[in-house]
Chains A and B, each alone.
Chain A
Amino acid sequence: MSPENTDFLYPFIDSAEHDADSLLTDLAESASAKATENSRLCRSCLETLGNDLEQVAGMIADRFRVGACLYTFGNGGSATDAASTAALFSRSPGHTGLAARCLVADQAVLTAIGNDVGYELTFSRQLIAFAQPRDIAIGYSTSGNSANVVLAFEEAKRRGLLTVGLAGYEGGHMAASDAVDHCFVVPSHSVHRIQEAQAALSYLLWESVHTKLASSRAPASAGRWQMVVGQASTEPEEAR
């Protein structure tokens, strides 16, 4: 129709494109490259953070022994990672359940706090209501800067909780904050790759906590842990 062909100026609206095969080849190559980067990043994180992760697992196990509850939180995709971690600790098949809850789970509480006092207080306000000094807080933010996550760590720290952060990029406010006892930073600028590596770190943290708990006897104090020990004796051997 037009005497000049200007399609090359607008590659994204090239309606004359017909060859899906070359696109599909590009897509598959792109998927493979990203999946390889996923493996590389997870491996490198475990190499550099593995020892710290073991240490933190020991501290978390110590707190579970005296009846701690684990609270997890985050926003968006990180909220779902927080939910995943809480479920892993509390109800993973074949393993003893440990007290763990995700602070994103209740829409009524979230929207009430967000509406009445501000979104940045959504998690800290809940910790004021629930948290005991023996408890544990694990927060997720790929930027490390989410205001409600940072404020939750500050509230948790004031109350004596063990605070563990999972961040990306250079760690943001979370890495710099005194309120975060241990901040695991996934050194990547891709939100997706960061979340995937955080999922691996969370899983290995959970696995390590169970290893630590299995290798020690519970103290005589009352509380959740005694209940947990009672359950553990009926668990199959593989759960130990």
Chain B
Amino acid sequence: MRTDRLLTSDSQLGHDSGGPEAADLAACSFAMARRFTSGGTLWCAAPTWPWHAQHVAVEFVHPVIVGTPALPAVMVPGDHLWESLRPIALAGDILLVVSRSDDPAVVGLRQRAQAWGLMTIWIGAGPRPEPGSADYVLWVDDEVLSAYGGRFVLLYHLLWELTHVCLEHPGLLTPEQELCEGETCITCSDEGRLAEVVAVQADRRAQVRTPAGIETVDTTLLETVRRNDLVLVHAGTAVTLVQGSTR
């Protein structure tokens, strides 16, 4: 029986295994625990393999270890990912996706999520996504292993186990700091921020959604603006169209 492909090394983590590093799982779990502590919800999607999204959600909602707190985690349909999340996901939530890197349902994952203020976790196998495609990318290089879901199951089991260890250290789980230091403040001035168009106004202005809420921006620099477009906002002006409104 061919076990060599399933068990490439003595561990399923770290460079030799072609899987993610243990330190990446640790950092990801810590960030998840922080968001749960601040009231965040974990949204789970796996467009091609919906059972993985269900498995992640049930781990958190109904823990196997008695006495472990239930945490809000929800499976969302992968084929209508953005439409399902748009009205319900809030800034401070987490989006965990299990998919291949070329899955059309999750194109532009991080940018759209960033405009909404969601932290993103991407678990998958095969060719890796572009660097920076999610806040945490937990990848298995061997493509064969996407049909064998066991490696994914291990990864999200570990995320659950480590997140609960973190929750036993509430003193470390303070909310992420919004630093506002004069001219370099991201929120107030200098840097381009991703925003999603909520409503287009007649005066060449538009209402956009950012993690901070709804704000009105000038759109004269853009040729056309449509609802759900993703734009880059700089100093009260939409300067670039980042992603069309097809999602």
Measured CB to CB, the residues of A under 8 A from B are: 11-20, 23-32, 34-36, 38-40, 42-43, 46, 50, 53-54, 76-77, 79-81, 83-84, 87-88, 92-93, 191-192, 195-196, 199-200, 203-204, 207-208
Contact = CB atoms under 8 A, between A and B. Distances in A.
Interface string B147-181: 11110011001101110011011111000000000
A27 B172 CA distance: 14
Contacts of A46: 1, 3
A182 B22 CA distance: 36
Given A17-B172, A192-B161, A24 B26 contact: yes
Where chain A touches its partner, the secondary structure class is helix
A15 B173 CA distance: 9
B64 interface: yes
Given A27-B166, A204-B1, A36 B10 contact: yes
B168 to A, nearest CB: 5
B25 A31 contact: yes
B235 interface: no
Contacts of A81: 51, 55, 153
A141 to B, nearest CB: 13
A80 B1 contact: no
Interface residues of B, number: 49
A30 B162 contact: yes
Given A27-B165, A35-B12, A92-B147, A192 B49 contact: no
20 contacts: A12-B168, A14-B170, A15-B170, A17-B171, A18-B171, A24-B23, A24-B30, A31-B162, A54-B1, A77-B59, A80-B54, A84-B149, A196-B153, A196-B157, A199-B148, A199-B150, A200-B6, A204-B3, A204-B6, A208-B1
B11 interface: yes
B49 A27 contact: no
Given A24-B27, A77-B55, 8 more contacts: A11-B168, A31-B13, A32-B13, A77-B59, A84-B149, A92-B147, A191-B64, A196-B157
Contacts of A30: 161-162, 165
Given A28-B26, A80-B51, A192-B157, A42 B10 contact: no
Contacts of B13: 31-32, 35
A185 to B, nearest CB: 17
Nearest to B165: A27
B22 A31 contact: yes
Contacts of B148: 199-200, 203
B15 interface: no
A28 B25 CA distance: 7
Given A32-B13, A39-B10, A203-B148, A87 B171 contact: no
Contacts of B51: 79-81, 83-84, 87
Contact of A43 (B3, B19, B157): B3
A80 B52 contact: yes
B34 to A, nearest CB: 10
Which of A27, A32, A39, A87 is the most central at the interface, judged by chain B CB atoms within 10 Å of its CB?
A: A27
A25 B25 CA distance: 11
Closest 10 CB pairs of A and B: A199-B150, A17-B171, A27-B26, A80-B51, A83-B51, A80-B55, A28-B22, A192-B157, A15-B171, A31-B22
Contacts of B166: 23, 27
A31 B29 CA distance: 11
Nearest to B63: A191
Nearest to B149: A84
Contacts of B27: 24
Contacts of B154: 35, 38, 196
B221 interface: no
Nearest to B62: A76
Given A35-B11, A87-B51, A199-B153, A29 B6 contact: no
